[in-house]
């Protein structure tokens, strides 16, 4: 196989580092002064050469600018997230391609929130082509030898066989007892939510006592609705991961997303940092919790009735 001289690689990397393609730039306008300005580049992208997206977010004076933390799962297969930097009004992503091809970075979702309500703006997908400096049959340098893991060791084989035997015995026991014990079907999620909402509203001492107890129960009820009705799997994700999922989802209104961000942050501060929260603010969170859970219960009940 033919090798590529190192100086050719350096020339190629420098030659594609400074140009920008105007077609990759976007300006998304919203209400008032709200806008998103996206700049992407360089124009020519090679395998292994960083590609940068710079998103500037301009809002009204009273706006809170909310956007999810971007992780590796946000990018399509073949792109690696090398750097993520963000402040109140600027988001910079640096990605690198593992292989040649045409890629599309999904839209970036930004929520401008203030007392009058939330406004959501979305960028368009960013499409670009990545080419490889190395042609088929060429290489940059010889690769060091690597050891390949082959067959299992004797101990690993014994452990694997024992695990299969245990799993088989457990499956046999489960099938045997299913015939003898009548399995009670799980309670419909909408009934669980309605009962939880009633209990939350019926607790007269909740709002006058420990606010941490109130937020414990409210957060638990909201997460039951998110998991049971909308399939968010909040228990299997970190707070940042499931908040990113909520903000990127199209099934929730902008006002609901804005409340999610502030509600979960306020709940954590009260429950874990023992911060104080005014009674009126807690009552407003109670109203929003009841409203969200009621809507989720109605959707779940309607879906169950449609299936039957």
Fold of 2-135: Immunoglobulin-like (2.60.40)
**71: DSSP letter:** -
Across the chain, how many H-helices and E-strands are there?
7, 13
Q: Are 114 and 62 in contact (CB under 8 A)?
A: yes
Q: Categorize the per-residue pLDDT at 133 as very low, low, confident or very high, splitting at 50, 70 and 90.
A: low
Is 90 exceeded by the pLDDT of residue 189? yes
Q: Are 107 and 55 in contact (CB under 8 A)?
A: no
Domain boundaries, the chain: 2-135, 150-184, 189-307
pTM value? 0.49
In angstroms, the Cα distances linking 255 to 40, 192, 221, 260, 288 are: 30, 25, 19, 9, 11
In angstroms, the Cα distances linking 124 to 43, 109, 294 are: 17, 10, 34
Q: Three-class SS of residue 199?
A: helix
- Find the mean pLDDT for residues 287-296: 94
Residue 244 vs residue 297, higher pLDDT: 297
Q: For residues 278 and 31, what is the distance between their CA atoms, to the nearest angstrom?
A: 32
**Of 8, 70, 24, 80, nearest to 47 (Cα)?**
80
Is 70 exceeded by the pLDDT of residue 272? yes
Q: What residue spans of 86-235 are helical by DSSP H?
A: 154-180, 189-202, 211-228
Q: Are 182 and 294 in contact (CB under 8 A)?
A: no
Q: For residues 290 and 308, what is the distance between their CA atoms, to the nearest angstrom?
A: 27
E strands, the chain, in order: 2-3, 26-29, 35-41, 45-46, 51-58, 64-66, 79-86, 90-97, 101-105, 109-114, 117-122, 126-131, 138-139
pLDDT score for 299 = 93
Task: Summarize pLDDT for 153-162 with one digit per residue, the tens.
Answer: 667 778 888 8
Q: Categorize the per-residue pLDDT at 67 as very low, low, confident or very high, splitting at 50, 70 and 90.
A: confident
Please give the CATH architecture assigned to the domain spanning 189-307: Up-down Bundle (1.20)
- Find the mean pLDDT for residues 253-276: 90
Q: How many CB atoms are closer than 10 A to CB 48?
A: 16
Task: Summarize pLDDT for 106-121 with one digit per residue, the tens.
Answer: 998 888 888 777 788 8
Q: For residues 274 and 175, what is the distance between their CA atoms, to the nearest angstrom?
A: 48
């Amino acid at each position: 196989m033919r090798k590529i001289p190192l100086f050719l690689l350096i020339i190629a990397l420098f030659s594609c580092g400074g140009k920008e393609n105007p077609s990759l730039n976007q300006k998304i306008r919203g209400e008032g002064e709200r806008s998103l300005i996206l700049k992407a580049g360089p124009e020519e992208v090679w395998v292994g050469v960083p590609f940068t997206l710079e998103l500037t977010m301009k809002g009204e004076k009273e706006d809170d600018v909310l956007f999810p933390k971007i992780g590796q799962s946000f990018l399509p297969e073949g792109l690696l997230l090398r750097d993520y930097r963000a402040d109140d009004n600027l988001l910079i992503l640096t990605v690198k391609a593992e292989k040649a091809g045409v890629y599309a970075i999904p839209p970036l979702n930004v929520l401008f929130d203030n007392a009058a309500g939330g406004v959501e703006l979305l960028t368009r997908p960013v499409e670009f082509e990545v080419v490889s400096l190395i042609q088929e049959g060429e290489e940059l340098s010889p690769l060091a030898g690597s050891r390949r893991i082959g067959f299992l060791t004797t101990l690993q084989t014994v452990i694997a066989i024992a695990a299969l035997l245990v799993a088989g015995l457990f499956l046999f026991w489960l099938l045997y007892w299913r015939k003898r014990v009548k399995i009670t079907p799980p309670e419909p999620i909408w009934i669980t939510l309605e009962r939880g909402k009633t209990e939350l509203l019926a607790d007269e001492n909740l709002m006058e006592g420990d606010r941490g107890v109130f937020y414990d129960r409210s957060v638990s009820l909201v997460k039951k609705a998110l998991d049971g009705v909308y399939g968010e799997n909040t228990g299997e994700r970190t707070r940042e991961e499931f908040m990113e999922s909520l903000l990127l989802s199209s099934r929730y209104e902008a006002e609901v997303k804005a409340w999610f961000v502030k509600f979960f942050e306020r709940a954590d501060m009260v429950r874990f940092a023992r911060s104080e929260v005014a009674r009126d603010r807690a009552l407003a969170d109670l109203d929003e919790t009841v409203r969200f859970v009621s809507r989720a219960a109605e959707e779940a009940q309607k879906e169950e009735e449609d299936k039957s």
